[in-house]
Structure 1
Amino acid sequence: MEIVFWASALLLVHVFAGYPASVWLLARWMPRPICKKAIAPTVSVVIAVHDGAAQIAAKLANIETLDYPRQLVDIVIVCDGCRDDSAEQCRQFGDPRVQILEFAERRGKAACLNDGIAVAKGEVLLLTDVRQRLAPEALRELVANLADDTVGAVSGELLFEDVYTGFARGVDAYWRYEKLIRQNESGSGSTIGVSGALYAMRRGLFQPLPVATVLDDLLVPMCVAAQGQRVVFEPLALAWDRPSQQPCEEQRRKIRTLAGNYQLVQLAPWLLLPWRNPLWFRFISHKLLRLLAPWLLLALGLSAALLATRHALFAVTALGLAAGLAAVVAGRLLPALGGRLPVRLLTAFCYLNLFAAQALLAFARNRRLHLW
């Protein structure tokens, strides 16, 4: 039981503190700078849409505001089994650069990206979702990183706006922590994932995705890294989105995303092989061990409770975990308490780990995760 306690504790420390600290130190002691330059290759914006009529016109208008030569940009919209008038909205927008691909059957985002990129003309692909708003300089800042011959893909930075509730502020804090890790991964070599809301890559590096893929924003950059190119993070390329205000709103999206990590290993088992995956340690530490975190917390709590009479350390650990859980429950019952910084961070941490545990069950039960 002591082995279970210490193994769980050490792995949890590594996942949430040790690994982030290690890439932070690497980024400062052994930095790998990026040679950014103002360049202007041709760019294809590719957007997969399912029932996006309420948002697509605003998205196209937003793309028109990008500070990039208009004649160098074409736009491919892939309508994935839309039951609304998304395609008609695109046609009514009246931009001759827009090419629309319509599919009557809903197939999922990965299949749409494969088809959209197959007809794209640009040297660079800009992948973005219909929901988020992009800063005018976003494309220019992303492309500048591709002036460095070692860089194959670039992630933008996603920011949250309209953060009203304690839960939303907790999710926003967690996302800031996640972005800090990505920035340090980038500064020390490569980050393992990009933001699906906004990323750019060299078109020649794109490899068609398995059509069932959920996490294109993880498999695409891992394939880029496997081809010997860096995947970097650009904090000046901004996109804005709104977070879920309550756990029930976040639950479905987060479980699907986390279940996508299990699916990714099934679709691309080479990611588990250190001699094939150049970012193997980062992938294991940043992604896979996080999926184990809820089970490690459970093992830590149970072993600490069973060992509580043997040493004060075990008793303090068990009491600390119980107190943290009690604070989350109290925060849900008393909104004023739930808005306090420690409680809202604990609440976000608790729910995200609960969703991670549920993700394993979702993956086991649902083989059609790729359908939105």
Structure 2
Amino acid sequence: MLLLLLLTLFAIVYAQIGYPCLMGLLARVRPRPVRVELPPPDGVSIILCVHNGAAGIQQRLQNLLECQWEGTREILVFCDGCDDATAALAERLGHPDVRVLSTPSRRGKAAALNDAVRQARHSFVAFADLRQTFHPAALQNLALAFRDPAVGAVSGLLEIAPSASGAGRGVDLYWKIERKLREWEAAFDSVIGCTGAIYAIRRECYQDIPPDTILDDVVIPMQIAQKGLRILYAPKAIAYDPQQLSPDREKARKLRTLVGNYQMLERHPAWMFPWSGRLWWQFVSHKTARLAVPWLMVAAILFNLLAVKTPLVWALLIGQAGCYTLALTGCALPRLRNRLVSIPAGFLMLQWTCARALLAYARHRGNLLRLWSPPPDAAARSAC
């Protein structure tokens, strides 16, 4: 029983701390250089899929038009079943670089992306969301990655306002670690998924995704990686999110992301095995292992209770009890901004959401398109 306890604790630590540390080490000792063999793309198609975005469409288009770009550019506004004035307001700008495409009924973002990519005129395709804004140099910094012919996609960086609550600060730390992990993964080989608010691909590498796909910003890059291409990370290609990261908003976003992870694992189980390609270990460590953590935490408590015979096991049990006490204190007192409680509280909140996600997916897996369409204020990122 002691061996099971130690293995369980090791798996938890590996998923949360061990893998990021190991990836940081590999990025330092075995980095894979980015070659510069091609000129940057001279044309870009920016795809903006929108459902009822009249309130912000003109401001968003103005931001995209103001981004620095020396070549040709088109912005494809794909109105997915909009029944407001989104299309009319986009067309009212009268800008030759803006094209508006519409469907009469809402089919979901994944279906809209499939149609929009087919309509794109340029090989360099960038994806954007409505609420965020791009740094003026964002497109240029994304394009630089494609000077390497081995690169099929590149993710940008999403900057989010810091949390106001104590528990939210634990979530902030989690997101900062995730961003650093992406940087290390890209230096070693490839990131596992992109930031949905800002990323780009080679159009010829795009493969249609099922219309009910939740994590398009993970599935699309992973399908490109299966072709032998790299997925890079460009932290200087920045999108800004004006909404503050709160625990409630993060829980809703995280629940959707984790449900999408379960959907992805069911549809692409081969990605977890060595024969699927070079990224299988990264995929298992970054995606699959984290899904197991809440269940490993329960197992660790049970094994600890059953193995209480030595001072070491008692110490582990007391340590677990202390960590949960701090976490529950942080959850009960969200305004408490002490890191000693806010970090465990954020961690526990994410694990609880992960457990809920499995139950939600099992219950609604046949109707995910309706239940898990992103709400208007959903943060466009897949951090898990």
TM interval, short-chain normalised: over 0.9
Measured against aligned partners, the alpha-carbon deviations of 1:81-106 in whole angstroms (never above 9, x if no partner) come to 22332222212232222222222322
Q: State the match for 1:212 in structure 2.
A: 212
Whole-angstrom CA distance in 2 between matches of 1:294 and 1:351? 10
Measured against aligned partners, the alpha-carbon deviations of 1:212-262 in whole angstroms (never above 9, x if no partner) come to 211111111111111111101111111112456543332222111101111
Whole-angstrom CA distance in 1 between matches of 2:55 and 2:297? 41
Q: Is the 8 A contact 1:168 1:244 kept in 2?
A: no
**Residues 63-82 of structure 1 mapped to structure 2, 5 A cutoff:** 63-69=64-70, 72-82=72-82
Whole-angstrom CA distance in 2 between matches of 1:243 and 1:250? 11
Whole-angstrom CA distance in 1 between matches of 2:246 and 2:215? 23
Whole-angstrom CA distance in 1 between matches of 2:235 and 2:33? 14
Q: Is the 8 A contact 1:328 1:347 kept in 2?
A: yes
Please list every run of 5 or more consecutive structure 2 residues that lacks an aligned counterpart in the other structure.
Answer: 374-384
Q: State the match for 2:337 in structure 1.
A: 339
Q: State the match for 1:223 in structure 2.
A: 223
Quote the offset at 1:147 in angstroms: 0.3
Farther-moved stretch of structure 1 (242-251 vs 112-121): 242-251
Q: State the match for 1:151 in structure 2.
A: 151
Quote the offset at 1:114 in angstroms: 0.1
Q: Is the 8 A contact 2:170 2:342 kept in 1?
A: yes
Q: Is the 8 A contact 2:164 2:246 kept in 1?
A: no
Letter of the aligned partner of 2:54 in structure 1? A
Letter of the aligned partner of 1:359 in structure 2? A
Q: Is the 8 A contact 1:162 1:242 kept in 2?
A: no
Q: Which of these residues, 357, 361, 364, is aligned with residue 362 of structure 2?
A: 364
Letter of the aligned partner of 1:139 in structure 2? L
Whole-angstrom CA distance in 2 between matches of 1:106 and 1:313? 58
Whole-angstrom CA distance in 2 between matches of 1:245 and 1:219? 25
Whole-angstrom CA distance in 1 between matches of 2:170 and 2:85? 36
Q: State the match for 2:349 in structure 1.
A: 351
Q: Is the 8 A contact 2:45 2:76 kept in 1?
A: yes
Letter of the aligned partner of 1:218 in structure 2? V
Whole-angstrom CA distance in 1 between matches of 2:146 and 2:296? 40
**Residues 266-281 of structure 1 mapped to structure 2, 5 A cutoff:** 266-281=266-281
Measured against aligned partners, the alpha-carbon deviations of 1:339-372 in whole angstroms (never above 9, x if no partner) come to 1122221111111111111110111111332341
Q: Is the 8 A contact 1:221 1:231 kept in 2?
A: yes
SS across alignment from 2:238:
strand
Whole-angstrom CA distance in 1 between matches of 2:84 and 2:307? 59
SS across alignment from 1:74:
strand
Whole-angstrom CA distance in 1 between matches of 2:320 and 2:217? 34
CA 1:193–1:280 in 2, change beyond 3 Å: closer, same or farther? same
Measured against aligned partners, the alpha-carbon deviations of 1:10-41 in whole angstroms (never above 9, x if no partner) come to 21121112211221111111111223586242
Whole-angstrom CA distance in 1 between matches of 2:118 and 2:350? 36
What TM-score do the two structures reach when normalised by structure 2? 0.91
What TM-score do the two structures reach when normalised by structure 1? 0.94
Q: State the match for 1:98 in structure 2.
A: 98
Measured against aligned partners, the alpha-carbon deviations of 1:171-208 in whole angstroms (never above 9, x if no partner) come to 22111101111111100111111111100111111111
Q: State the match for 1:60 in structure 2.
A: 61
Quote the offset at 1:296 in angstroms: 0.6
Residues 1:193 and 2:193 aligned together: yes
Whole-angstrom CA distance in 2 between matches of 1:260 and 1:277? 22
Farther-moved stretch of structure 1 (234-243 vs 72-81): 234-243
SS across alignment from 1:122:
coil
Measured against aligned partners, the alpha-carbon deviations of 1:310-340 in whole angstroms (never above 9, x if no partner) come to 122322222222222222332244345x211
Q: Is the 8 A contact 1:67 1:136 kept in 2?
A: yes
CA 1:334–1:261 in 2, change beyond 3 Å: closer, same or farther? closer
Whole-angstrom CA distance in 1 between matches of 2:368 and 2:167? 26
CA 1:118–1:346 in 2, change beyond 3 Å: closer, same or farther? same
SS across alignment from 1:54:
coil
CA 1:335–1:273 in 2, change beyond 3 Å: closer, same or farther? closer
Q: Is the 8 A contact 2:45 2:124 kept in 1?
A: yes
Residues 1:314 and 2:288 aligned together: no
Q: Is the 8 A contact 1:75 1:99 kept in 2?
A: yes
CA RMSD in angstroms comes to 1.8
SS across alignment from 1:275:
helix
Q: Is the 8 A contact 2:167 2:331 kept in 1?
A: no
**Residues 147-296 of structure 1 mapped to structure 2, 5 A cutoff:** 147-161=147-161, 163-242=163-242, 245-296=245-296
Q: State the match for 1:329 in structure 2.
A: 328
Whole-angstrom CA distance in 1 between matches of 2:173 and 2:282? 22
CA 1:182–1:332 in 2, change beyond 3 Å: closer, same or farther? same
Letter of the aligned partner of 2:273 in structure 1? L
Q: Is the 8 A contact 1:76 1:120 kept in 2?
A: yes
Farther-moved stretch of structure 1 (239-248 vs 59-68): 239-248
CA 1:211–1:334 in 2, change beyond 3 Å: closer, same or farther? closer
CA 1:246–1:123 in 2, change beyond 3 Å: closer, same or farther? closer
Identity across matched positions, percent: 37
Farther-moved stretch of structure 1 (92-101 vs 353-362): 92-101
Letter of the aligned partner of 1:313 in structure 2? L
Quote the offset at 1:304 in angstroms: 1.3
Please list every run of 5 or more consecutive structure 1 residues that lacks an aligned counterpart in the other structure.
Answer: none
CA 1:365–1:154 in 2, change beyond 3 Å: closer, same or farther? same
Quote the offset at 1:275 in angstroms: 1.0
Farther-moved stretch of structure 1 (84-93 vs 287-296): 84-93
Aligned residues: 369
